[in-house]
Structure 1
Amino acid sequence: MDRRSPVFTEEAECQDCYKCLRACPVQAISVAGGHAQIRPEACIACGRCVVACPPKAKRIRDDLADVRELFAKGPVIASLAPSWVAEFPDLTPGCMIAGLRALGFAAVSETAVGARAVSVAVAELRSAQPQRLWLSTACPSAVDFVRKHRPALLPALTPLASPALTHARMLQTLRPGAQVVLISPCVAKKRESEEHPDLLAAALSFADVRRWWNEAGIVPATLPEVEGFFLPGPGDAALYPVEGGMLTGIRRLGQPGDTGLAACSGITELDHALAGLAPEDGAMFVETLACPGGCVNGPGMTPGGFVLRRRAAVLAAPQPIGRELPPEVSTALAWPGLSAAAEAIDERTLAAALARTGKRTREDEPNCGGCGYDTCRDFARALVAGRAEPSQCVTWMRRLAQRKANALLSAMPAAAVLVGADMRLIECNAIFARLAGGDERCVAGASITDLLPFSRLFRHVLDGHGDILERDVRLGGRVLHGSVFAVEPGQVVGAVLADVTEPAMGRAQVASRAKEAIEKHLATVQRIAYLLGENAAETEGLLSQIVDAYEPEPGDGGR
């Protein structure tokens, strides 16, 4: 576990549900020992896994301690992302500034001031090179997606710094020696601060600030308002947090009727939109945002908010333009590649990997996505690369459990059957089928009422009248000693039936032996029922335990 990565896994909390793997748009999560781990070389820090993880095992790195230490070294300025109005709708700008100043920040400035400079630079770039495809570089997660996973489009990235880095350059020009800390809803900004520590000393999420206020006992809404952000107002650059917001300012700076502007949010949607494009294609500028809907849907926002409501809050916020121009700073920045492309896998190796989960023909590949990969072949490639385990394949593990359960039922020396709440057969062994009239009658879905004259015993247990019911019953000319028991109360019942009709043995002795056998087989049938509906990842171990229990003791002759 790498706790220094912007996003990491708390292994003790991981429940092996693979939901994070399914949520990751670049499949930057591997599975080892049943636990999902993030692969830093492929991760773009979009934070989708953090949002998707039910037990909160995927976590955002806590940088509060590092920021507190900065205050002892000199003045620290907060660069506040414009999405703050959606995260803190109950705070006025004056209260927001007061709350951050109370934490120790020497000044508070809006990141969108840097965004305004970036918009101007984009307009100039498009004017100088109009017949090119350009991809925005405001979102570090979208930039890393191109750098790591679509390196052919690397030349299409605008050679411009993000608004946060540009803003930091402005602040350091005005306050030499000051440290800049970004406050935003973005996880990827933590990585951006690592790559450019000379500009951004650290990056905090809105959740970090809320927690800091709570720990310090600060209630910003009750503080006297502090007027005015440091540096002039950003105007419509404050719309950067919503999809299409960046384009608003660029249109204002460009030519009327410009049709070469497009916006795309969400990595999966961005991937589809960029498919087949090359840097030399068309006169087009694409605003790229990793989070669906824009930064207002970032992982650092408080969970449970409505994206449209957040968007409306950003659009409704005042957008003043400062009378004084901010200092002119360079917006230039180069983007080196960080390719995380996987090595090519030949067809024979791929086929061998598919066979490990029982897939030998195309018809064997359901592409259900239960493993976390879009297709069975993507999963097989991950198996070859050592990033996945066969137990992730739900269909394979279920099929394996069914086969082993069937084999175990068949090997039992007593009749065994599982029945559902609808009084229909779920599973049975061959001995039960012979007792109940043959294989052709004992198929899944057959009515137990049609098979056995004492089906009322099953209904009795299903209706909750006891967890187990033992009876001697007659079936044709045979006497059976049986136990009907609850597997899932009210949903599934099982039964073990032993034939005690043998004339050579006294009735009491037969019943005693039958009871011993039933006690042994009872647990087996219960566990088989459990296996047929249990987490596939646990199936192999449980079945092995059951099989071991049926191994003959040394010297018993295997009877």
Structure 2
Amino acid sequence: MNVIGFKEAKCKNCYKCVRTCDVKAIMVKNEQAQIMNDKCILCGHCLEACPQNAKSFISDLDKVKGYLKDNLPTIISIAPAYLGVLKYNTPGQVITALLKLGFTMVRETAEGAAYVTREYNRLLTEGKMENIITTCCPSVNDLIEIYYPSLTRYMAPVDSPMIAHGKLIRKEFGHGVKIVFLGPCISKKREAESDPRTVGYIDAVINFSEVKQWLLEENIDILALKDTPPMNPNPMVNRLYPISSGVLSSVVATKKDGAADGYRKFYVHGIKNCIELFESMERGEVSGCFIEADLCNGGCIKGPAVDRAAISRFKVKLDMEEAIPKKPITEKNFYERAKDISFHKVFVDRSPKDPLPTSDEIKHILRKIGKTKLEDELNCGACGYISCKEKAIAVYQGKAELTMCIPYMHERAQSMANVVLDMTPNIIILVDAEMRIVEFSGAAEIYFHIPRLKAREKYLYELIDHTDFEEVLQTKKAIMGKKVEYTERGLTTLQNIVYIHEQNAVLGIFQDITKEEELNRQAYKIKVDTIEMAQKVIDKQMFVAQQIAGLLGETTAETKVTLTKLRDTILNDGIDQPHKKS
């Protein structure tokens, strides 16, 4: 299923999402970015990075509103991150707000986290695993299963708090209720709705940003509401799950009698830190550790579905640790409700089996973009890949396109422009708003007897009259098909001068018509000579006509009129005279 959607019309030749994606789960095809669902870990970084807002989270909000509109009993499981993300005077005001939206019951996901904590403590006590990586974060789970499958043996075989809570609610209320998860994460949607190991326990996933907007539309002000107590037993320390070290705090606080288990404990947050750790673990450099892993820097309170700029993870961590006691659950029968529920989950190798090119195939691809030598491989990263070789592999696998190499395309564009400037027989001159010469074609070098580099150091009026160029710059109206003669250069041109809006520049294209004009002048001379001969014939005819006027009568006048028209027709069939400029 798709969790992130793309608007194709807005996505073109940017590659910022590719550069941002640490696992390169974005394919570019026909100049459009596409998510590769089997490789995406749903960190949400591409959503933040996209400058055109071409990517969007595919929402379940309308589905949830549909449940409420149809009066279906709907229970919402609210992630403990709400304690640091939403604005309230007392936490119970948030519960009241959700009830006013129409939810039948509001339960805290931290309730499910308590059962996850218990499972972690069981694994620690058993001590059978060399390392234990927490599996609360679906994005971390995806990262390991897809990209570091050798580490799946270290993944705690335990459900996430969301799924654990869904199982608990489903047992209590059956399949007649709808269960909605509210949190800061987008990867929960895939875990809830398309992972065959966990599907069926959560019916829909919405996030805090969506609920904030929903409350605004319904004119519900959390701060103005009365307090409603939680509708679940107090999960105590397990409310700390969404902050960094929150899982460790829960595990340590819940451990019976503070017994030692022999595992070193630490937490790692942020995708780059997770990748660094997992690479180290693959090399066998980490052992005997219990590791809290979260893909978002600062934990779930900085999830991709949260306005991260408006939240200080340090302040939230301090506030939540101060407000939430690091104490275990005290309710006597808390765990009895789930005695028949299995929170076991098996993690597997889901790594993609992409074909790898040979070294010769990589070289062949690199040659196509002008990289024939090692020094040609700039490894600039503009395409999104860390090296030209990695980009070539992506091209081979159909994930990237040759044209994504920006230096190559720049050189190609420059070379094509130079070919046009060098090979065209026309004089091409481009000037900026100050009449400084920007481009100067090969033909212009020949006609004006100045090299291109020298010409680009000059203003147009240093070479020719710039009046027409100035007029086009001011009026933004083109001058087309104007004949201009440069007498001292022996050159006659047919000029098209146009304004270029994008660069606020003026482009002149001059066609050399000197030979054509000379031929026209010669043809005109022949016509004049012919006219003179015709005039002599007319004069002679008139003389003869006068002698035989009596005989010809009115035909004489008709002859004169006809021959005169012939003469005028020939004379008027001349050529346009060009403007003369120095």
TM-score (ref. length: structure 1): 0.78
Structure whose CA Rg is larger: 2
AA aligned to 2:500 is: V
Residue 271 (structure 2) pairs with residue 273 (structure 1): no
Deviations 1:118-151 (A, max 9, x none): 3343344234328823222110011001101111
> Displacement of 1:509 after TM fit?
5.5
Asked if structure 2 preserves the Cα contact closer than 8 Å seen for 1:78 and 1:183, the reply is yes
* Distance of aligned partners of 1:131 and 1:63 in 2 relative to their CA distance in 1, 3 Å threshold: closer
Distance 1:64 1:449, change over 3 A: closer
Give the letter for the 1:276 counterpart. S
- Percentage identity across paired residues of the two chains: 26
Amino acid corresponding to residue 298 of structure 1 in structure 2 = G
Distance 2:186 2:35 in 1: 14
Deviations 1:235-274 (A, max 9, x none): 3433322333323334544679999333322323321232
Question: Could you tell me which residue of structure 2 aligns to residue 193 of structure 1?
Answer: 192
Q: 2:263, 2:288 within 8 Å by CA — same for their partners in 1?
A: no
Tell me how far 1:464 sits from its aligned partner: 5.1
The 5 A counterparts of 1:395-414 are 395-414=407-426
Cross-structure match for 2:298: 293
**What's the offset of the Cα at 1:359?**
2.2
Contact 2:424–2:442 under 8 Å retained in 1: no
Equivalent AA in structure 2 for residue 204 of structure 1? I
Instruction: Tell me which residue corresponds to 1:260.
Output: 264
Give the Å deviation of 1:35: 1.8
Alignment of 1:86-485 (within 5 A): 86-90=84-88, 92-129=90-127, 132-177=130-175, 178-194=177-193, 195=195, 196-214=198-216, 217-221=218-222, 224-252=225-253, 253=255, 260-278=264-282, 281-302=286-307, 304-308=309-313, 311-312=316-317, 315=320, 318-319=323-324, 323-324=330-331, 326-328=334-336, 329=338, 330-420=342-432, 426-438=438-450, 441-443=451-453, 446-449=456-459, 452-454=462-464, 460=470, 477-479=489-491, 485=498
* Deviation, structure 1 residue 184: 0.6
Alignment partner of 1:487 is 2:473:
no
In structure 2, the residue matched to 1:83 is 81
8 Å CA contact 2:77, 2:106 repeated in 1 = yes
**Larger CA deviation: 397-406 vs 249-258:** 249-258
- Structure 1 pair 50/484, CA: closer, same or farther in 2 (3 Å)? same
Deviations 1:311-366 (A, max 9, x none): 35863672156642532545432212211242222112222222332222222222
Q: Give yes or no for contact 1:67–1:202 (8 Å, CA) kept in 2.
A: yes
Cα 1:54–1:210 change in 2 (3 A) is same
- Determine if contact 2:20/2:45 at 8 Å carries over to the other structure: yes
CA gap 1:310/1:139 in 2 versus in 1, 3 angstroms = farther
Gaps of 5+ in 2: 522-573
Distance in 2 (CA, whole Å) between partners of 1:117 and 1:411 is 76
Q: Which moved more, 1:253-262 or 1:276-285?
A: 253-262
Matched to 1:399, the amino acid is E
The answer on whether the counterparts of 2:440 and 2:456 sit within 8 Å (CA) in structure 1 is no
Aligned pairs, number: 509
Correspondent of 1:36 among 33, 36, 43: 33
Aligned equivalents of 1:243, 1:505: Cα separation in 2: 87
Report how far residue 374 of structure 1 moved. Answer: 2.3
Whole-angstrom CA distance in 1 between matches of 2:250 and 2:475: 72
Mean Cα deviation higher: 111-120 or 394-403: 111-120
CA distance in 2, matches of 1:499, 1:140: 70
TM-score, structure 2 length as denominator? 0.76
CA distance in 2, matches of 1:467, 1:264: 63
Does the 8 Å contact 1:85/1:314 carry over to 2?
Answer: no
SS at match of 1:275: helix
Q: Residue 370 of structure 2 aligns to which amino acid in structure 1?
A: G
Looking at structure 1, the residues matched to 467 and 89 of structure 2 have their Cα atoms a distance apart, in angstroms, of: 66
Contact 1:87 1:310 in 2 (8 A): no
Deviations 1:488-541 (A, max 9, x none): 567544333455666825699687699xxxxxxxxxxxxxxxxxxxxxxxxxxx
Give the Å deviation of 1:160.
1.7
How many angstroms apart in 2 are the aligned matches of 1:241 and 1:208?
19
Task: Point out the more displaced range, 314-323 or 348-357.
Answer: 314-323
Counterpart Cα distance in 2 of 1:424 and 1:278: 61
Letter in 1 for 2:425: P
1:66 to 45, 63, 66: 63
CA contact (8 A) 2:109 2:161 kept: yes
Q: In 2, Cα distance between the equivalents of 1:53 and 1:80?
A: 29
Match of 1:552 in 2: none
Contact 1:239/1:314, CA 8 A, preserved across alignment = no
Cα 1:498–1:10 change in 2 (3 A) is: closer
Moved more, 89-98 or 487-496: 487-496
SS at match of 1:148: helix
Could you tell me how far apart the structure 2 residues matched to 1:271 and 1:182 are? 28
Question: Residue 12 of structure 2 contacts residue 33 of structure 2 at CA under 8 Å; is this kept in 1?
Answer: no
| Unpaired stretches in structure 1, ≥5 consecutive residues | 515-559
Higher mean Cα deviation, 264-273 or 417-426? 417-426
The one-letter amino acid of 1:327's match is Y
Contact between 1:132 and 1:279, CA under 8 Å: does it hold in 2?
Answer: no
In the other structure, the counterpart of 1:527 is none
Deviations 1:383-423 (A, max 9, x none): 21222222222222222222222222223222213345687
> Which residue of structure 1 aligns with residue 536 of structure 2?
none
Instruction: Specify the SS of the correspondent of 2:249.
Output: helix
Does the 8 Å CA contact 1:421/1:492 hold for their aligned counterparts? yes
Distance (whole Å) between structure 1 residues aligned to residue 21 and residue 354 of structure 2: 16
Amino acid at match of 2:298: G
More helix as a share of residues:
2
Q: 1:425 to 1:82 in 2, by over 3 A?
A: farther
Residues 20/356 of structure 1: CA separation in 2 closer, same or farther (3 Å cut): same
Relative to structure 2, which stretch is displaced further, 498-507 or 94-103?
A: 498-507
Return the alpha-carbon distance in structure 2 between the equivalents of residues 462 and 511 of structure 1: 22
Superposition deviation, residue 162 in structure 1: 1.2
Distance 1:276 1:395 in 2: 34
